[in-house]
Amino acid sequence: MTERRAALLDAVLALLVEKGAAALTMTAVAQRARCSKETLYKWFGDRDGLLSATVRWQASKVRAGAYDRQHLDAGALRESLEAFAANWLSVISSETSVALNRVAIGQSEALGSIVLANGRFAIGERLKPLLLDARAAGLIAFDDAEEAFRTFFGLVGRDIQIRLLLGDRPPLDDASIAGDAARAANQFLALYGAKQTPAKAG
């Protein structure tokens, strides 16, 4: 992602927030980003291609957190889960994410598929390596990584996205997000934490 392309996609997001999906034309984007329509078509192909890139760009802001897979312990796992949860909550509560989700709901089914593929599904692929490494280290136990991710995703998000889409503004300041992230990590580990075998009596 070059600096110029990132600035262009940020211009798309700003346009969505300010004026909604109806204003998102290649002409309007070119004017906002101060580039030619030819550049837009060269880089993204068409409006759907531009939207796909925009969704990927917004979703890329959600990261699973850095960890050392060779020294992954319970503390590092919890820290990584909380970091992911806090990061994701911060991103989805932003005006840009809410605008993108509203566009996906109000437009064609194809656009909804774009948001799912480049948003939620792509984010899942970033967290699953952590879950698999934690299972290999004996820290958590599950049969299916997708099911485990979906459980964590639900514990983190709860009803936040639907409330935001309906115009509600639940408390999502830094302290609230940190508390929600810790709660989700605790609940996930209570569900999937590997059971320790009691030591045998000597």
DSSP 50-99: HHHHHHHHHHTT-------GGG--HHHHHHHHHHHHHHHHHHHTSHHHHH
Q: Which pLDDT tens digit goes with each residue over 188-201?
A: 999 999 764 333 44
**Would residue 73 be called left, alpha or beta, if left means φ above 0 and alpha means ψ between -120 and 50 degrees?**
beta
Q: Using one digit for the tens of pLDDT, what is the confidence trace for 31-43?
A: 999 999 999 999 9
The arithmetic mean of pLDDT across residues 120-125, rounded, is: 81
The pLDDT mean for the chain works out to: 85
75-105 pLDDT, tens digit each: 999 999 999 999 989 988 888 888 878 877 7
Give the range among 17-26, 58-67, 121-130, 167-176 with minimum mean pLDDT: 58-67
Task: Output the pTM of the full model.
Answer: 0.78
Q: What is the mean pLDDT of residues 69-80?
A: 91
Q: Phi and psi at residue 172, in whole multiples of 5°? A: -135, 45
Kindly report the backbone phi and psi dihedral angles of residue 168, in degrees, each rounded to the nearest multiple of 5, phi listed first.
Answer: -75, 155
Q: Which residue has the higher pLDDT, 169 or 106?
A: 169
Mean pLDDT of 175-187: 95
- 133/67 Cα distance (integer angstroms): 10
